[in-house]
Chains A and B, each alone.
Chain A
Amino acid sequence: MKFTLHVWRQAGPTAAGAFSTYEATDISGDMSFLEMMDAVNESLIERGEQPVAFDHDCREGICGMCGMMINGIAHGPMRATATCQLFMRHFTDGDAIYIEPWRARAFPVIKDLVVDRSAFDRVIAAGGYITAPTGGARDANTILVSKSDADDAMDAAACIGCGACVAACPNGSASLFAGAKIAHLGVLPQGQAERRQRVLRMIAQMDEEAFGGCTWHGECHEACPKAISLDVIARMNGDYLRALWTTHEEKQEQGAG
């Protein structure tokens, strides 16, 4: 198969970007989208041009490193599929394909299709965890978790942190990402102690980063390679309201004696 690619090229964070057009030839339907990009890059290097920079690593749809806007859709046309798991058999010979980086204020472009998603790490660092210092944990089977709670937690925990939700959202909101972590930890008995402060801190950090608010477009769910449910956002909002109502200032610890 043969494709005409219009690829966003941008030399650096502050450089102006523009589309460049390349022909991808001899593409087999068994090639993944990234393998097609590899082939284009090999031919660019052979012609003495700069290859297109794009992030990728595991190529199994789990590490969350890859991601591009393909014809305006985050991760391309297949539902619940990361870019690396998108195969060229789903395109028609001769198609023109537009390829751009994630478009979101919170994810500045580093080069070509590579963006900076470190804001996600900072949201997790703000509260996306259960405090459990190494050592001293009690026997695992003393904490009972019903199968349905474990399943709900796992559904939310499947998030790969790729950023497609933010890129797809007209507001550039990270609500699906944050909601997924809040739901995963908040469903489990282990996550209850920090449930209120977790949601308050993560949302405060999202606001500090340049993410927008959620206005229920649902585009995030459509783009999500793991099809994370919008329920997680509802849960996050519920937790947030409850936390606002019930949280009061932390009491100062006093040294005794």
Chain B
Amino acid sequence: MSARLDARIPGGPIAEKWDRHKFEMKLVNPANKRKHTILVVGSGLAGASAAASRAALGYQGKCFCFQDSPRRAHSIAAQGGINAAKNYQNDGDSVYRLFYDTVKGGDFRSREANVYRLAQTSLNIIDQCVAQGVPFAREYGGLLANRSFGGAQVSRTFYARGQTGQQLLLGAYQALERQVGLGHLRMYPRTEMLDLVLIDGRARGIVVRDLVTGEVTSHAADVVVLATGGYGNVFYLSTNAKGSNCTAIWRAYKRGAGFANPCFTQIHPTCIPQSGEHQSKLTLMSESLRNDGRVWVPKQKGDARPPNQIPEAERDYYLERKYPSFGNLSPRDIASRAAKEVCDEGRGVGPGGRGVYLDFADAIKRLGEHTIRERYGNLFEMYERITAENPYRVPMRIYPAVHYTMGGLWVDYNLMSTIPGLHVAGEANFSDHGANRLGASALMQGLADGYFVIPYTVGDYIGSTKLERVDASHPAFTDAERAVSERTATLLAIEGKRTVDSFHRELGKVMWDYCGMARNETGLTHALEIIPQIRDEFWRNVDVPGSAAELNQALEKAGRVADFLELGELICRDALERRESCGAHFREEFETPDGEALRDDAHFSHVAVWQYRGENQTPERLEEPLEFENVHLSQRSYK
């Protein structure tokens, strides 16, 4: 193992590692805590919960987000639920089972110790959220209700109608605002991080741009936490919010933070199909719908009959047929690939034949429309609003779309990146989901990182590190500020012919075509040739109107797309080098005879970590070997 990639996994049996580690951590005297400043970038589940928890401990805190309020962060859009191994349903769940399901669901490409800790802290999350007043669904007796979710055979998902992410985020947001009101934390909305500043090899602050005035300033600190979410928008069309971007983690990468498994991008099986070229984003329909909806396509190629005229015998419920034990609840990567397969065969439905039915007729017959409305009413409404079709009467049409990125900045067990003092939480890091994330696990991870891991590990870092005082007048800050302003000026001075969006769409199409649900060497090699050409044209021919000293949304987008144009190349490079199929990374050259992902554990049972080596240099590929001591490596089967 490279010395640079010490995961610092504590010793001892897996169930004791975290407790033991917590005990061995250095503590910081309460009187000294207020002498230390911690910056949190991003205010989603991970960022808001980390900022609120640490401000409550007495540290000086600042939190930054590009939206107008921390409550807008894209965690808010998560619909289905949050997993926790409470076993309230007495159906055989346990911390160990959640751990096992997550390692297996991630197709054995995650770190066991991290996943076990995630499963352990899942219990505390639900308690914490209920204490804050998150209105989880309840049974008539007043106890918490659960539903089942993809990739699991137990009912361990807690939910608040179809708005679980919203309610969890509002809980964290309210805790954060409470700290703001008490004066323990300062919030910087409409502020975008544009660089990370290192002094003596440690992360000591960030450079930001005020999106209203355009002013570029620095913030010095002892610890920087990035909780800036995923990079799915590199595909242009995704279920992410329009503003979601990779800029913060990409700047950190260019300052030396290793980037792990960038090619592990999740394509979610149940999204509303694209309706035309004008489309600006794709909308997710919660995976929870697969609890009651049945997925099917016509058996006949090119069958153009409306769904209600296709008799039962001429329908192919392909998930139930291929995966009888998990059926419609197969994990996301498997369900997505199966949808692509039937559409490639010419059996897809709707415009362009890129869609499959998600049919609630049986569930409505069995449970009544009222129950279905109660479970999914807001999702059905959203679907009808977008498509003008009533899903209580006609089956939904769905198609896979880019949704989540398992890859991200590499972190050790303490969630610290390869840059000392730079911690990374939530979707922005790579840690817990391996090559495929299970449903209702993103919310769990964001809150586990923010409420229960970062507050401990940041304290340990501060307590065990001698940190010289620095402030924003240090030359490292002024140099970084200058570089940020120069880059902005360069973008504005190009005055080319094409809009930022046109480049973003072009990049997205290349990513989707060659690095989407199925990948192969020829396609990836081709993408690696085209992406630099698009990037080259971008820097010669982009048109960014307006000035730097005002609210300039085109300029914001330009900076983000410039970074996506670099990240896209790294994703394809990682996908090319990983010569195996695992989870969401499906290489057509590596499949089992029945078309499932074929892992190569002998050569690829590791985390691939990319180290930046300078402009126009091929980055270095490092490996962190993965050991499986508890869950034994096996071919994943959901049949």
Contacts and interface: CB of A to CB of B under 8 A. Distances in A.
A249 B139 CA distance: 40
A139 B279 contact: no
Contacts of B241: 57-59, 63
Given A57-B74, A118-B69, A124-B177, A134 B455 contact: yes
Interface in A122-181: 122, 124-135, 137-141, 143-147, 150, 153-154, 157-158, 160-161
Given A116-B68, A157-B135, A63 B77 contact: yes
Nearest to B128: A137
A114 B160 CA distance: 31
B178 A131 contact: yes
Interface in B114-146: 124, 126-133, 135-144
A140 B137 CA distance: 12
A62 B160 CA distance: 14
Contacts of B88: 141
A35 B545 contact: no
Interface residues of B, number: 79
Given A63-B76, A64-B71, A132-B131, A85 B143 contact: no
Interface stretch (B33-41, B550-558, B620-628): B550-558
Interface stretch (B356-364, B381-389, B427-435): B381-389
B111 interface: no
Interface stretch (B23-31, B167-175, B461-469): B167-175
Interface stretch (A42-50, A213-221, A234-242): A42-50
A232 interface: no
B275 A110 contact: no
A69 B160 CA distance: 30
A53 interface: yes
A23 interface: no
A94 interface: no
A7 B419 CA distance: 48
B303 interface: no
Nearest to A158: B163
B102 interface: no
16 contacts: A30-B278, A32-B386, A45-B499, A55-B68, A59-B242, A60-B284, A63-B67, A121-B69, A121-B70, A129-B175, A130-B131, A133-B56, A135-B452, A141-B143, A185-B133, A190-B132
A131 B128 CA distance: 11
Given A28-B278, A110-B212, A125-B178, 7 more contacts: A117-B68, A118-B68, A121-B71, A124-B174, A131-B178, A137-B131, A140-B144
A188 interface: yes
B41 to A, nearest CB: 17
Of B56, B132, B163, B455, most buried by chain A (CB within 10 Å of CB) is B132
B501 interface: yes
A65 interface: yes
A137 B124 contact: yes
Given A62-B77, A137-B127, A42 B181 contact: no
What is the size category of the interface that chain A forms with chain B? 35 or more
Contacts of B142: 144-147
A134 B138 contact: no
Interface string A6-45: 0000011000000000000000101110110011001001
Contacts of A62: 76-77, 163, 166
B148 interface: no
B71 A188 contact: no
A145 B138 contact: yes
Contacts of B502: 42
Nearest to A64: B72
B69 A117 contact: yes
Contact of A128 (B161, B174, B553): B174
A87 interface: yes
Interface in B66-114: 67-74, 76-77, 86, 88
Contacts of B177: 121, 124-125, 128-129
Nearest to B385: A85
A46 B150 CA distance: 45
Interface in B364-406: 382, 385-386, 388
Contact of B132 (A126, A129, A139): A129
Contacts of B163: 62, 154, 158
Nearest to A86: B385
A56 B280 CA distance: 12
Interface in A48-84: 48-51, 53, 55-65, 81
A103 interface: no
Contacts of B73: 63
Contacts of A11: 550
A134 B56 contact: yes
Contacts of A110: 212, 551
Nearest to A143: B130
B553 A124 contact: no
A165 to B, nearest CB: 15
Contact of B280 (A38, A122, A146): A38
